[in-house]
Amino acid sequence: MVIFVDSSALLALVDQADRYYEAAMSTWRNLLTQDEDLVVNNYVLVESMALAQRRIGLEAVHILQDSIVPFLDIEWVDEDMHQASVMRVLSSNRRQLSLVDCSSFETMRRLGLDTVFTFDAHFREQGFNIIP
């Protein structure tokens, strides 16, 4: 199975103070043990690294880059996907639905994915299966 990985999961993996840290680590270990294919897009990586750097520090960015990213297949957002994501943000008319969220939904739909490792309820609202 191919599973999309969201920023909320990535941040929880590098922040021991995060309320989802234990659940994230347990899920991550299970995914790696089960040899699941894990996908992320570059917008999620940018968001995760920027938030980790600001909230925790550069050590968290090093952990992401050195210990997590090597296990992820990166789907690169091109101009067409960017425009579709922007249109989704604008048409949703919801302040709390970000461009990164919409790029994730778009990536998942284009790749035919239905499962996401996340702690963000927006994915469930969009009809995706959430783990943990």
Number of domains in the chain: 1
Q: How far is CA 16 from the centre of its chain?
A: 18
Domain of 125 in residue numbering reads as 2-131
- What per-residue confidence (pLDDT) applies to 96? 83
Give pLDDT, residue 123.
96
pLDDT, averaged per 10 consecutive residues of the chain (132 residues), comes to 97 97 98 95 98 96 97 97 95 87 97 98 96 96
Query: What are the angstrom distances between the C-alpha of 28 and each of 5, 24, 62, 74?
Result: 10, 6, 17, 17
| Strand stretches in the chain, DSSP E | 2-5, 37-41, 72-75, 115-117, 129-131
The structure's pTM equals 0.94
Residue 47 sits in a domain of what CATH number? 3.40.50.1010
pLDDT at 35: 86
Output the pLDDT for position 9.
98
Is-contact 7 48, C-beta < 8 A? Answer: yes
Identify the pLDDT of residue 93.
81
